[in-house]
Amino acid sequence: MSIEYQEEDVPHVLAVDDNLIDRKLVEKLLKTSSCRVTTAENGMRAMEYLGLKENQQQNSINGNGRKVNMIITDYCMPGMTGYELLQKIKESALLKDVPVVIMSSENIPNRINECLEKGAERFILKPVKLADVKTLRRQLTKC
Amino acid sequence: MAAVAQLQRQFIEYTTSLHNEGYLDDQFTQLQKLQDESNPDFVVEVVSLYFEDSEKLLNNLATALQQKIVDYKQVDSHVHQFKGSSSSIGAQRVATVCVHFRNFCEEKNLEGCVRCLQQLKQEYILVRSKLEALFRLEQQIVQAGGQIPMME
């Protein structure tokens, strides 16, 4: 019981990015901010990890999904963009309340607004810095 | 002890010059700040990944630009990746060339692209040799029993 409690205490974050260096950096930033981190290299892998399938009705609890407290994803990814991943998450009864943060190297106001309107918690401009992650971390403790 | 102090001074001077000359920017300092006892080789690890990745990208770019019919979307995609990882480790000059390169991709300007690839190679080789020199200095400091100075 006490082990479970300790695990619950540390937020679990899923970080999605197709760029290896960025993945390693975000992982380190999150770990430095006392988060447990799982990384995925694209949207499909992220969806698999979360237990989401393309056309699944999201009304039942999916026993294959893992609990995450936050998802942080790159916007520009091959196959499925971060925006599309955000959409899928928000459409899922199980995951719609999980905060989703979008990262992008491009400062495009339309893109930012689009993501925020779709329910993204925050939009972070790359390269990601420790200060950005610390802000997110503070928010997570309030959950 | 004098040897350590001298090495540390060299390190500070070298790092400062790399920043002043624009080879590295604040993002590199961010990486250094993330290094700690639990992960003492973090910077070298990330930079090594960057070197590997960059070399692949440069090869891919050369191949892509040699095609009879150049796929500018593909070229742009590689440059976008390169720009991303360069920015993430603080390789400012490399990232800047990438910006120009992407403009040429948009214009489907082959000559411009080829020129940028040359520049990219040059800047990459430069920053790689400078980072390797910096890491060698760090090793010397550690071997001499000193601590690597924290740059602000």
Q: In the CATH scheme, what is the homologous superfamily, with its name and number, of domain A8-137?
A: Response regulator (3.40.50.2300)
Q: Which residues on chain B are in Cβ contact (under 8 Å) with A129?
A: 27, 30
Name the token pair of B13. Answer: 């001077």
Instruction: Say how far apart CA B86 and CA B152 lie, in whole Å.
Output: 21
3-state percent helix, strand, coil for chain A, nearest multiple of 5? 45, 15, 40
CB contact (8 A) between residue A25 and residue B49:
no
Please give the single-letter amino acid code of residue A8: E
B49 in reach of chain A (CB within 8 A): yes
- Report chain A's terminal Cα–Cα distance, integer Å: 21
Q: How much is the ipTM here?
A: 0.91
Residue A48 has pLDDT above 60, yes or no: yes
pLDDT band at A8 (very low <50, low <70, confident <90, very high): low
| pLDDT means over runs of 10, chain B (152 residues) | 89 96 96 89 96 98 97 97 97 98 97 98 98 96 91 75
pLDDT score, position A15: 98
pLDDT tens digits along A116-130:
999 999 999 999 999
Q: Residue B53 in contact with residue A21, Cβ under 8 Å?
A: yes
Pick the closest to residue B135 from B37, B55, B28, B38 (CA basis): B28
Name the token pair of A95. Answer: 């995951």
Strand partners, B75: none
Per-residue buried b or exposed e for B53-67, using 16+ beta carbons within 10 Å of the residue's own CB: bbeebbebbeebbee
Instruction: Say how far apart CA A105 and CA A128 lie, in whole Å.
Output: 9
- Give how far B6 is from chain A: nearest CA, Å: 31
Using a 10 angstrom Cβ sphere, with 0-12 exposed, 13-18 middle and 19 or more buried, the burial of residue A35 is buried
Residue A65 has pLDDT above 70, yes or no: no
pLDDT band at A59 (very low <50, low <70, confident <90, very high): very low
B30 in reach of chain A (CB within 8 A): yes
Task: Identify which of A105, A129, A130 has the shortest CB distance to residue B83.
Answer: A105
Instruction: Say how far apart CA B144 and CA B86 lie, in whole Å.
Output: 31
Instruction: Say how far apart CA A7 and CA B98 lie, in whole Å.
Output: 42
- Give how far A3 is from chain B: nearest CA, Å: 22
Q: Which residues on chain B are in Cβ contact (under 8 Å) with A20?
A: 49, 53, 85
Name the token pair of B122. Answer: 């040059």
Q: Which residues on chain A are in Cβ contact (under 8 Å) with B90?
A: 127
pLDDT tens digits along A131-142:
999 999 888 876
CB contact (8 A) between residue A21 and residue B42:
no
Q: Residue A101 in contact with residue A71, Cβ under 8 Å?
A: yes
User: For an interface test with B, which of A18, A19, A21, A23 has the most B Cβ atoms less than 10 Å from its Cβ?
Assistant: A21
